[in-house]
Structure 1
Amino acid sequence: MKWDGRTVHPETGKLIRLMHLQDERSSYMLRDEGNRVVLTAHDDTVLAETERIHGGNWVVKLPGEPSREHSRKDDAIDDILGNVALNPMNSAWPGRRPGSAPPGGERGSTLVAHAQALTLQVLAREPARADHSAGVAARALALTPTVPATERDTLVAAAWLHDIGYAAELRQSGFHPLDGAHYLRAHGWPARLCDLVAHHSGARFVAAVTGLGDQLIQFGFVEDAVSDALTAADQTTGPHGEALSLDQRLREKNDRHGSDSPTAHAHSQRVPYLRAAAGRVEHRLGLE
């Protein structure tokens, strides 16, 4: 078995291993949460699960079938994967172009699920970037009370997607906010998401010093609760998904990128914006 992605449990903060699966009829997600492994369909329907019970055995549960036990976790997972094709809940899922946006009728948590899946797919060869994205998404989820209810899933989806432009196959300009936004637009993702990715964390200030400002303004910038929360989530999450203060994050980025980097050259214009956005988020949380 090859696990091809990772995320963070939104409640426990523990790392979850992910495996993306597909057959001629559908796509699936296998989530290893430690003492529980769950197989879900594309619409988050639980198809099968196994859980560690007292004594160390693993009990497998398939809808409509008696539960059964295995002494080894891998055997329980093999049982799940071997039986899912026979499960009556395994309905067909029409294929889509890789990377394409969810169909227009899919909203809410489905948007987040597709954003997560795309991020883990394109950043599969850059696990640190994937870990950072998972951490930003977890932080964004915690900040959803600061944004309108209708935009909470947009915030978390943008948090997952904000760094996909680092993937080698998406690279065009070499400026990851712009490259990620171009990819999303080309694949039919909502304009609001494309704009948030393009302008996350004060990208316009870095674009100005790299000569890419004219290209970035193809995407709309709105300074609002969602853009503030996305910036705050990104700027309080370290390169491996760890929680940092804003000051720690700024020092870490300066050390990593160097004093002659575009990030450093944009520092004096960008940092006041980052601090202001973080301050507005704290105000909305009632922390100041």
Structure 2
Amino acid sequence: MWTPEDAKALAGTYLGQDSDRWQHVRAVASVAHELVAAGAPLDLEMAAWLHDIGYADPLARTGMHALDGARFLELVEAPPIVVGLVAFHTGAEFEADERGLLGKLLEFERPVQPLLDQLILADMLSGPRGERVSVSRRLGDIFARYGPEHPVHRAVSLSGPYLRLASERASAAAGYPI
């Protein structure tokens, strides 16, 4: 049986605990922990710890961290719901389409939208160095990191309204301020 502590340890092993990415992951997990305390399933907190594991050099295969992370988590027998949350987090379908990887992404089971919305909310409220940010600032940070020619920039240009709406739905459902 997996626990958030297991997920945290695995993420720390692959992402390194001194990096900006680790600070971001910790912040996402902190928001998810608060959502779990308000009634969300524990799978959300595990997925929050693991959502960016696909950025780790030993795991990166396709250039799409959500897909690479989900493939790895499937290999280590993470709970299927956690694998699905990592695969589809934060508009991954848009990026997969931009990269020509949508068929590969759709090999994973898509989680129910309310649970996916909660992970999106946690990710969108956590800046690249772990600071609490607004959804608008988070989207701006992503655009600043990736130029207009990059698939992530193009995907987020398309997914921005979806990410805002998902964040708003999760916030309203949990009574969690954004």
Q: What is the TM-score with the length of structure 2 in the denominator?
A: 0.92
Which residue in 2 is equivalent to 1:228?
Answer: 117
Higher relative contact order (CA 8 A, sep 6+): 2
Q: Cα deviation per residue 1:38-78 (whole Å; 9 max; x = unaligned)?
A: xxxxxxxxxxxxxxxxxxxxxxxxxxxxxxxxxxxxxxxxx
Q: Give yes or no for contact 1:145–1:285 (8 Å, CA) kept in 2.
A: no
Cα distance in 2 for partners of 1:227, 1:147 equals 14
Judged with a 3 Å threshold, the aligned counterparts in structure 2 of structure 1 residues 237 and 137 are, in CA distance, closer, same or farther, namely same
Structure 2: 5+ residue runs without aligned partners? none
Residue pairs, 1:52-91, within 5 angstroms:
none
Q: Cα deviation per residue 1:68-127 (whole Å; 9 max; x = unaligned)?
A: xxxxxxxxxxxxxxxxxxxxxxxxxxxxxxxxxxxxxx35xxx10000000000011761
Structure 1: 5+ residue runs without aligned partners? 1-105
Judged with a 3 Å threshold, the aligned counterparts in structure 2 of structure 1 residues 206 and 146 are, in CA distance, closer, same or farther, namely farther
Judged with a 3 Å threshold, the aligned counterparts in structure 2 of structure 1 residues 163 and 212 are, in CA distance, closer, same or farther, namely same
Which residue in 1 is equivalent to 2:101?
Answer: 212
Which residue in 1 is equivalent to 2:12?
Answer: 120
Judged with a 3 Å threshold, the aligned counterparts in structure 2 of structure 1 residues 204 and 118 are, in CA distance, closer, same or farther, namely same
Which residue in 2 is equivalent to 1:260?
Answer: 149
- Percent sequence identity is 37
Q: Give yes or no for contact 2:14–2:56 (8 Å, CA) kept in 1.
A: yes
Which residue in 1 is equivalent to 2:64?
Answer: 175
After TM superposition, give the deviation of residue 222 of structure 1 in Å.
Answer: 2.8
Q: Give yes or no for contact 1:146–1:229 (8 Å, CA) kept in 2.
A: no
After TM superposition, give the deviation of residue 217 of structure 1 in Å.
Answer: 0.4
> Does residue 143 in structure 1 map to residue 32 in structure 2?
no
Q: Cα deviation per residue 1:138-158 (whole Å; 9 max; x = unaligned)?
A: 01112225654xx2x110110
Cα distance in 1 for partners of 2:93, 2:63 equals 14
Count of aligned residue pairs for this structure pair: 177
Cα distance in 2 for partners of 1:261, 1:162 equals 21
Which residue in 2 is equivalent to 1:60?
Answer: none
* Structure with higher strand content: 1
Larger Rg belongs to:
1
Cα distance in 1 for partners of 2:110, 2:162 equals 13
Q: Give yes or no for contact 2:27–2:130 (8 Å, CA) kept in 1.
A: yes
Cα distance in 1 for partners of 2:169, 2:137 equals 19
Q: Give yes or no for contact 2:55–2:69 (8 Å, CA) kept in 1.
A: yes
Which residue in 1 is equivalent to 2:135?
Answer: 246
SS for the counterpart of 2:127 is coil
Which residue in 2 is equivalent to 1:7?
Answer: none
* Structure with higher helix content: 2
After TM superposition, give the deviation of residue 187 of structure 1 in Å.
Answer: 1.1
Residue pairs, 1:16-27, within 5 angstroms:
none
- Amino acid of the residue matched to residue 259 of structure 1? P
> Does residue 189 in structure 1 map to residue 78 in structure 2?
yes
SS for the counterpart of 1:218 is coil
Q: Cα deviation per residue 1:231-288 (whole Å; 9 max; x = unaligned)?
A: 0100110111110000000011101112221122123431111011111112113469
